[in-house]
Amino acid sequence: DHLYVSNMASGELEGQTGVPNMLAHDLAAQPAYTARIDQTSSSGGAGIYAAWQSVASEASEMTLLVGGEKMTHKTTGEATDVIASLTHPVEYKHGVTLPSFAGLTARLYLDEYDAPRESLGKVAVKNHKNGVDNPNAQFRKAVDLDTVLDSPIVADPLRLYDFCPITDGSAALLFCPESVAQEIADEYVVVSGVAGATDTHVVHERPDPTTMRGVVESSRQAYEMADRDPDDVDFAELHDMFTILEFLQFEDLGFAEKGEGWKAVEEGRTERDGDLPINTSGGLKSKGHPLGASGVAQAVEVYEQLQGEAGDRQLDDPEVGLACNVGGFGNCVTTTILETPEAQ
């Protein structure tokens, strides 16, 4: 009935608009209603929210969500400039980019909470290790801590391996009522909670840059909708565009007290064999970050884990998974909770 495409910048990067209509044509999906969902780098999560709403409201009985972005034909500088355009003009015109925000925030976090620089590097090591077992990852190569810490500085204290790459990629999800899923599919998962929220568009106006209020609020609403709390989550896919973001989201989702997210990494809690595995897909760091597709791909990883279809990176019988997709530097966020039917 509905076909949504999560995409941030096909016009800016490729000079191509009308992608949903093109896809409907290629899929022979006419006369389905089509729409492009653009919420910057959280377009995928926003697409999940929109697709869920279309089915929950009974406007559509079946909604296909496709997330996609084509980026690698552009240089890193060109792609970074397009991405930087999502920042507020008062910051953008002074040359502020998301990597520079990340460096400033990482320095503040390390100093404020007495966290070792090595803890950020261990996020990269962990996520690259997970990516080795993901056949769809952009970088299927393990790295050691020395390699991460010795890589070139990009935005002090962050180095090259603290950043995700630019990526080509796509992912898709099909949404329908549970009664329909029971008829057409042998197995499925349930969207038990989904919500979105925003923070100030001007990052320097935030009372505490190490707190992402969009993550706090969207997760609060998603937990409430799912009748869950952070302790119920078995694993999560977080938006690690920069390694520091894994710490911030881990805390703002309620998985650790403020300033203690780094300890979870040091203690091995976020490893695949830890008590709360984070980014089993390899995360944006290893799997890649094709902007509009990333949030959809996060949910695909959660789906595959819940279905026992994650191959060599499969966890032991997870029942509840969470995906947190961040736009900009926390400017807009969507949190989604997925569960097996048996966990309901």
3-state secondary structure of 180: helix
Determine if the pTM surpasses 0.75: yes
The single-letter DSSP state of residue 237 is E
Domains present along the chain, CATH in parentheses: 2-72+170-184 (no CATH), 86-164+189-343 (3.40.47.10)
* Among 164, 121, 159, CA closest to 266: 121
Cα–Cα–Cα angle for 134, 136, 138, rounded to 5 degrees: 95
CA atoms within 13 Å, Cβ hemisphere of 260: 8
Kindly list the distances between the CA atom of residue 178 and the CA atoms of 33, 58, 175, 185, 318, in Å, as whole numbers in the listed order: 21, 12, 9, 10, 20
- pLDDT, averaged per 10 consecutive residues of the chain (344 residues), comes to 98 95 96 97 98 98 98 92 87 84 97 98 99 97 98 97 97 98 96 98 92 99 99 99 99 99 98 99 98 98 99 98 97 98 94
In whole angstroms, give the CA distance from residue 213 to residue 195: 13
Residue closest to 245 by CA, chosen among 62, 108, 114, 120 = 120
The amino acid occupying position 133 is D
Residue 105: enclosing H or E segment and its boundaries?
A: helix 98-113
Kindly state the helix (H) or strand (E) to which residue 263 belongs, with its residue range. helix 261-266
For residue range 126-155, list pLDDT tens digits in order: 999 999 999 999 999 999 999 999 999 999
| C-alpha–C-alpha distance, residues 143 and 124, integer Å | 8
Q: CB neighbours (10 Å) of residue 229?
A: 10
pLDDT given at position 80: 86
